[in-house]
Structure formats: C-alpha cells, structure tokens
Amino acid sequence: MRMTHLLAFAAPLALLLPLSAQAAWPKDLKAQYTAQCVPAAAKTIGEEAAKAHCACGADKIEKNFTTAQIKELMGPAGAKNPQLQQDALNAIAECKASPQPKK
C-alpha cells in the first residue's frame, strides 16, 4: 500500500486511536469515525472500497481498544497521544484496500 493510501486512511484515525481490551464503540462515535473515514479513503480507492475499508477499520479499533481509549482517540486528547494514534494505525493496517479500476 502506498504512503498516500495510508495517509488517507490515517487522517480520520488521528482522532480515534485506542488499544487494549475489546470494547464497544461509545454512542455515536462509530458513525462519526465512518463519516470521517469514508470520504478521506474514497479519494484514493473509490466509495465502495472506502466503505469496506472503514468498516474493517472500525471493527479493528473495537477489537483492539478499550471504550476509554476510543473516546480519547475521538476527542481532542487523541491528537495529543501519538502512541495511541500509531497503535490504531497499526491495527487498521490489516484492512487491505485497493483502488477501484476507473471505468
């Protein structure tokens, strides 16, 4: 995956990067994550692939981070925690996304 693809996926993640025990997404934060992720990813891989990639990323975050970490990541404190951001990027990197061929 190219660095530009990672950056497109990382942009919305800069706000939501937790790590630890499995937890549930706090109310409305999963929708907020998806609303930020899909448009950013769609710029490089297309709308449908972006939806699949972002859904996978949301699942990885939910599986690998606590509710408190997800809240931190989605809030203003998330931008101040580079380790949390990196941990989230590492978890989401397992979600493969390929650009859709141009028609």
**Per-domain residue ranges of the chain:** 3-92
- CB of 9 closer than 8 Å to CB of 57: yes
pTM (predicted TM-score)? 0.70
Q: What is the pLDDT of residue 22?
A: 58
Q: How far apart are CA 15 and CA 61, in angstroms?
A: 12
The CA distances from residue 77 to 26, 53, 70, 82, in Å, are 16, 25, 11, 10
Q: How far apart are CA 73 and CA 26, in angstroms?
A: 11
Q: What is the pLDDT of residue 7?
A: 44
Q: How far apart are CA 57 and CA 38, in angstroms?
A: 11
Q: What is the pLDDT of residue 43?
A: 95
Q: How far apart are CA 20 and CA 43, in angstroms?
A: 31
Averages of pLDDT over each 10 residues, the chain, 103 residues: 51 48 81 95 94 96 94 86 93 78 56
Q: How many residues would you count in the chain?
A: 103
Q: What is the pLDDT of residue 78?
A: 77
Q: What is the pLDDT of residue 29?
A: 93
